[in-house]
Chains A and B, each alone.
Chain A
Amino acid sequence: MPKNIRKRKINFKDTTYLNRDFESFRNELIRYARVHYGDTILDFSEASLAGMFVDMAAYVGDIMSFYQDHQFNELSLETAVEERNIERLIRSAGVKITGASPSYVEVSLKLKIDAVAQTDGSTTPSAASLPVVRSGTVISSTSGVEFELLENIDFAEKDDDGELIATVEVASTNSDSVPTEYFLSRIGKFTSAKTIIETFIIPDIFKPFRTITLKNSDVNEIIRITDKDGDDYYEVDSLTQDTVYIKQKNDLADYLSVPERIKMIPAPKRFEKFTDRKSRKTTIRFGSGDEDVFDEDVVPDPSEHAVTFYGDRKSLPFVSIDPNKFLSTTTLGISPRNTTITVKYRSGGGVKHNVAASQITSVKSLITKFQTSVDPVTVSKIRSTVSCLNGTPAAGGENQLSLEEFRQIALSSQNAQSRIVTKEDLISRVYSLPNKFGRVFRAGVRDNPYNPFATHLHVLSRNASGKLEWTSSTLKENIGKFLENYRLITDAIDIVDGVIVNIGVDYSVSVDSKYNPDIVLQSVNFKLQEYFDIRNFQIDQPLMLSEIQNLIINTEGVVSMLEMDIISKEGTVGANSYTDVSYDPYQYKDRGILYPPPGGIFEVKFPNDDISGRVK
């Protein structure tokens, strides 16, 4: 072969990187060999020796290609196939693997109590002998599923007006029809999970990241972990989280709408939990710090953690840092030693726990607390009258999710962030505040006009009759503390009240002579009432006047709409009390759209009075 052609051939590598399987590797190798070694060997057929060598090289390429593919696939949650890898990826996506979940149900507990005579001759239930049914009380369904009371039920609890919160019915009367006994019933929340207390003796050996595994499977909640000194260990999402929220009973005036307050406390004693998918058992992992060693400095002095190198090491530093030494700091929490750990937790669940309504009828184990003045005979008599019935079916019980279901949850949760970046993040985080800390009805976000780094979070709540009201300061405080953990360090969120704009609609229409004008007006009013239902409105949501006009015109019997005005309602009008927000609709109207003031929401507070129509 001429030299120049040979040189050109050598320089021309012509290698393709698209081959993935045995055949394509083999074809490419043969093509390459024929180009570059065509003058050395010609026969690459399957039966030849050269063909065998090519096959072997292609086989190696195929296997390597397969493993490379496999490794890359295992890195992605979508494509991973090995169970252990899928589990790891699910955990790293922040999804907790859990066992079966229990069902929850609201059950009415009913008891019979003697009446006591009042000075006016009437009778009331004997308040002194009303018990507290304590959490842990067990009731059972006809199919044998047991439910446990989650929170105490105080039958003597009264509302702001001094009336018993429990529903009171007359159980029996005397010959003069004066009640002698009353039925009292209250709703309590029950779960099908069982409360279990387990203790672990921890030896006097320091062990960073000590783990303990609970005996029962399907643990769905760790209620409390304490050591023998009575110190609490707090559950955290990861051991790097050094503060936790705890709930405190709200003793302020707004306790009815916000029963509990959030308090943020440091948690040097903390733990994280994880559940094995197959055994469904939960393991608790503590921190790495040694309780007996104080962290005097925020940053440990490296010289105290040096390891001396022995021998002639002139070319190397004489000491090196022992990284294990840093594990004994309390940065990741304290590891217990020489103590007894008591774990109180709830376990159990499954889809079979979802029993139908009226199936929970028997009281298995009743835990009550009576006032000391109540005699044992009365206690025994009242206890014997306690019955239960679930008006609604028990729901929420579910078997353990399959690996595929966990995978789908992890995939969707990857998009959600556990921090607040966008306005949508902030609003969704506000709405995810646990119920016990209060519930915001509407939240809206606006830029702070005076501070480019701050955001105004407008919040509003609803009162018992469904009307908008300002959010209580305790709830705002709770929101603030709750958001603290999710907001970016440079962001400021000002939690302020939303602006309630009370409005009314005044309209006049001409009605077809075939229709009764009153009935037509009634229909229009009904349509407008539905339209102005507060559940259809958000903070900063404008009002489309053409939509209202459409509603009126498209009502059967209406021939034409003559007038339609949006009227601001403020102060006290007759028996109706509105907000003091002064709102001029003409100022905020632009091309048929009525805008609320910044952070405002429209409310037709008294639809029967605020929507008025006339027939002309």
Chain B
Amino acid sequence: MFNFKSSGIKISDPKFRETKESAESKIRPIGIKTPLEIGDDRAEIFKMHIDPLEQIADNLRNLVQTNSGERLGRYSIGCDLMSLLFDRNSQNEAEYENIAIQNIKKQVQRYMPVVAIDEVRFSSVDKVDYTDKTSLSKVIINIQFSVPRLKRLKNRIEVVLYNGG
């Protein structure tokens, strides 16, 4: 008769015993941090997010900065704010902001449904130094968002977009 005592591996086997090192290695990286940075002493090539909120914030910023058509194979992704910036001027600022908020909310709802946008604020910084060609006027978008599933509320990110027109 077959003896089942000799088959299988017990969970108490030393190889499964948790050490300090293995406990550390249990923290699994979630995604690549952007902008890309070379990894430090950890095993990964690039620096990674290990906090889900940081990863979400990073993704949200990338989503806001992406324009439609930029992503290969997924042309609808992106809030398409750059094209709006070209049309923006002092007369239609309110209208611009309204469209931009709608775009952001729509994209977040579609591609990051775990995120709830609380507030989007715009502030513009005019060209400071007219002698410096690299100095451009810009729009700073301040987004307050929550991730109810993680119970992380009222988080903020800031996205800077340079005026095109």
* Residue A274 is within 8 A (CB to CB) of chain B in the complex: no
* Residue A58 is within 8 A (CB to CB) of chain B in the complex: yes
User: Interface readout for A13-33 with B: 1 if CB under 8 Å, 0 if not?
Assistant: 000000000100010000000
* Residue B155 is within 8 A (CB to CB) of chain A in the complex: no
**Is B32 touching A50 in the complex (CB atoms < 8 A)?**
yes
Contact of B77 among A26, A41, A47, A58 (CB under 8 A): A47
Given A2-B16, A40-B44, A41-B31, check contact A47 B112 (CB 8 Å): yes
Q: Which residues of the partner chain B approach A48 to less than 8 Å between Cβ atoms?
A: 31-32, 55, 58-59, 62
**Is A50 touching B31 in the complex (CB atoms < 8 A)?**
yes
Assembled-state Cα–Cα distance A49/B72 (Å): 12
**Is A49 touching B32 in the complex (CB atoms < 8 A)?**
yes
Q: Which residue of chain A has its CB nearest to the CB of B108? A: A47
**Is B62 touching A47 in the complex (CB atoms < 8 A)?**
yes
Q: Which residue of chain B has its CB nearest to the CB of A61? A: B73
Which size class do A's interface residues fall under? 20 to 34
**Is A42 touching B77 in the complex (CB atoms < 8 A)?**
no
* Residue B28 is within 8 A (CB to CB) of chain A in the complex: yes
* Residue A39 is within 8 A (CB to CB) of chain B in the complex: yes
* Residue B151 is within 8 A (CB to CB) of chain A in the complex: no
* Residue B71 is within 8 A (CB to CB) of chain A in the complex: yes
Assembled-state Cα–Cα distance A547/B87 (Å): 91
Looking at B34, B44, B49, B72, the one whose CB has the most chain A CB atoms below 10 A away is B72
Q: Which residue of chain B has its CB nearest to the CB of A54? A: B73
* Residue A519 is within 8 A (CB to CB) of chain B in the complex: no
Q: Which residues of the partner chain B approach A40 to less than 8 Å between Cβ atoms?
A: 28-29, 44
* Residue A59 is within 8 A (CB to CB) of chain B in the complex: yes
Q: Which residues of the partner chain B approach A45 to less than 8 Å between Cβ atoms?
A: 59, 111-112
**Is A56 touching B73 in the complex (CB atoms < 8 A)?**
yes
**Is B48 touching A41 in the complex (CB atoms < 8 A)?**
yes
Q: Which residues of the partner chain A approach B34 to less than 8 Å between Cβ atoms?
A: 49
Distance in Å: Cβ of A530 to nearest Cβ of chain B:
73
* Residue A52 is within 8 A (CB to CB) of chain B in the complex: yes
Q: Which residues of the partner chain B approach A235 to less than 8 Å between Cβ atoms?
A: none
Q: Which residues of the partner chain A approach B55 to less than 8 Å between Cβ atoms?
A: 43, 48
Distance in Å: Cβ of B28 to nearest Cβ of chain A:
6
Given A47-B77, A55-B71, check contact A41 B29 (CB 8 Å): yes
Assembled-state Cα–Cα distance A62/B77 (Å): 18
Contact of A49 among B16, B62, B111 (CB under 8 A): B62
Contact of B28 among A22, A26, A42, A56 (CB under 8 A): A42
Distance in Å: Cβ of B7 to nearest Cβ of chain A:
14
Assembled-state Cα–Cα distance A605/B96 (Å): 100
**Is B31 touching A42 in the complex (CB atoms < 8 A)?**
yes
User: Interface readout for B76-116 with A: 1 if CB under 8 Å, 0 if not?
Assistant: 01000000000000000000000000000000000110000
Which residues of A (46-75) have their CB < 8 Å from a CB of B?
46-50, 52, 55-56, 58-59, 62
Assembled-state Cα–Cα distance A600/B118 (Å): 99
* Residue B143 is within 8 A (CB to CB) of chain A in the complex: no
Assembled-state Cα–Cα distance A419/B86 (Å): 72
Contact of B111 among A41, A46, A56 (CB under 8 A): A46
User: Interface readout for B57-78 with A: 1 if CB under 8 Å, 0 if not?
Assistant: 0111011000000011110010
Q: Which residues of the partner chain A approach B10 to less than 8 Å between Cβ atoms?
A: none
Q: Which residues of the partner chain A approach B111 to less than 8 Å between Cβ atoms?
A: 45-47
**Is A39 touching B28 in the complex (CB atoms < 8 A)?**
yes
**Is A49 touching B31 in the complex (CB atoms < 8 A)?**
yes
* Residue B15 is within 8 A (CB to CB) of chain A in the complex: yes
* Residue B125 is within 8 A (CB to CB) of chain A in the complex: no
15 extra A-B contacts, CB within 8 A, seeds A2-B16, A47-B112, A62-B73: A26-B73, A38-B28, A40-B29, A41-B48, A43-B59, A45-B59, A47-B59, A47-B111, A48-B55, A48-B59, A49-B31, A49-B34, A55-B72, A56-B73, A58-B73
Which chain A residues have a beta carbon within 8 Å of chain B's beta carbons?
2, 22, 26, 38-43, 45-50, 52, 55-56, 58-59, 62
A-B pairs with beta carbons under 8 Å apart, 5 shown: A39-B28, A42-B28, A43-B49, A45-B59, A47-B111
3 nearest CB pairs, A to B? A59-B73, A43-B31, A47-B59
Which chain B residues have a beta carbon within 8 Å of chain A's beta carbons?
15-16, 28-32, 34, 44, 48-49, 55, 58-60, 62-63, 71-74, 77, 111-112
